[in-house]
Structure 1
Amino acid sequence: MISKPQKRISQKALTVWRISGVITSLIGWLITAAAVFLLHIFDLPGWISIILIVLAVIFPVLHIFLFPTLRWKSWRYEVREEEIELEEGIFVKTRTLVPMVRVQHVDTNQGPLLRKYKLASVVVHTAATAHTIPALEETEAEELRFFISKLARVAEEDV
């Protein structure tokens, strides 16, 4: 039986995901403020405003503190000679096996936040889908990209 994947993504992912949560929360607060303002102007029931305000307090707590921690703890990956295994999910665990013979190409990508924290994501492309290993250290991501590419070439030659 194949063991569960053991490698973790960078702990800096927590910081990046929390900053993303703050940005998302700020946008949510702006939308909530506009909605509450419109509700007040059109003299609609106050309980709707109260629900919106409560949600505007609860969601940031979840998206800034709880979900990034749970997401980081649940993310695992392993690259083996014949497959790549990914495990993720907070409430629903998903384990994915990507056979090396199916790998077409491998990319790394960085958004502004990942670049600031010297992180990169590795994206493994197959004919049908793309699988992402998020928030690895830049050097680790580059090494992993070349390693997977090399294994995919070897797997292709063996077929």
Structure 2
Amino acid sequence: MDYPLLNHQMPPRIQAVWRKSLFTTIGSFLFVEVILFLLATRLGEWSMLVWLSFAAGIVITLMIGVVLYLLIPYRYAFHRYEITEEDVALQKGYFFRTTTYVPLNRIQHIETNQGPFLRREQLMELVIHTAATAHKLSGLDTVQAQALREQLIALVKVAKEDV
């Protein structure tokens, strides 16, 4: 069975944000591993087990980083959304694809977030809150995110009036 893709895709600039975030995460893990190694050697632990665990940690971290970096184009291809008059559909995943439908009458409030990586690429994240959870739509153009937020607020008002 072919999995249907939703209509709207994020701007390609979101891939740069994902790369920067990945480099920051991998760099943080490598930094912690080096600190732990230096602490172990400073305390007099020069055993082969310390060296092997350090090398294994570095290799595993770098392998995971390379795999996640290579999967960014696939992640981008399946990171989509769609807004109808009844719900908001959010789609993600390249191996395990999920589509989440958020009914408009269940939306409590909508936030916009913009961290340093998103700000540099002039992108924004839309966070749709329901009673149970928050659904994130990351990587929208700043102007598009504001317009989408206003559109959703208007649709939510209409949906709640109908109930």
The alignment's TM-score, normalised by the length of structure 2, stands at 0.86
Q: 2:54 aligns with which of 49, 54, 70?
A: 49
Residue identity over aligned pairs, in percent, reads 33
SS in 2 for 1:22: helix
Which amino acid in the other structure matches residue 93 of structure 2? Answer: G
Equivalent residue pairs, number: 156
Which amino acid in the other structure matches residue 76 of structure 1? Answer: R
Paired residues of 2:107 and 2:128 also in contact (CA < 8 A)? yes
Which amino acid in the other structure matches residue 57 of structure 1? Answer: L
Q: 1:114 aligns with which of 111, 115, 118?
A: 118
Equivalent residue for 2:38?
37
The structure-2 alpha-carbon separation of the partners of 1:55 and 1:149, relative to structure 1 and needing over 3 Å to count, comes to same
Any runs of at least 4 consecutive aligned residues in structure 1 with deviations exceeding 6 A, and if so which?
none
Which amino acid in the other structure matches residue 108 of structure 2? Answer: Q
Matched, 1:68 2:69: no
By how many angstroms is 1:132 displaced? Answer: 1.0
CA distance in 1, matches of 2:84, 2:100: 13
SS in 2 for 1:90: coil
Which amino acid in the other structure matches residue 152 of structure 2? Answer: I
Structure 1 segments unaligned to the other structure (5+ residues): none
Paired residues of 2:5 and 2:78 also in contact (CA < 8 A)? no
By how many angstroms is 1:4 displaced? Answer: 4.2
Paired residues of 1:36 and 1:52 also in contact (CA < 8 A)? no
The alignment's TM-score, normalised by the length of structure 1, stands at 0.88
Equivalent residue for 1:157?
161
CA distance in 1, matches of 2:75, 2:127: 18
CA distance in 2, matches of 1:49, 1:112: 32
Equivalent residue for 2:90?
86
Which amino acid in the other structure matches residue 31 of structure 1? Answer: V
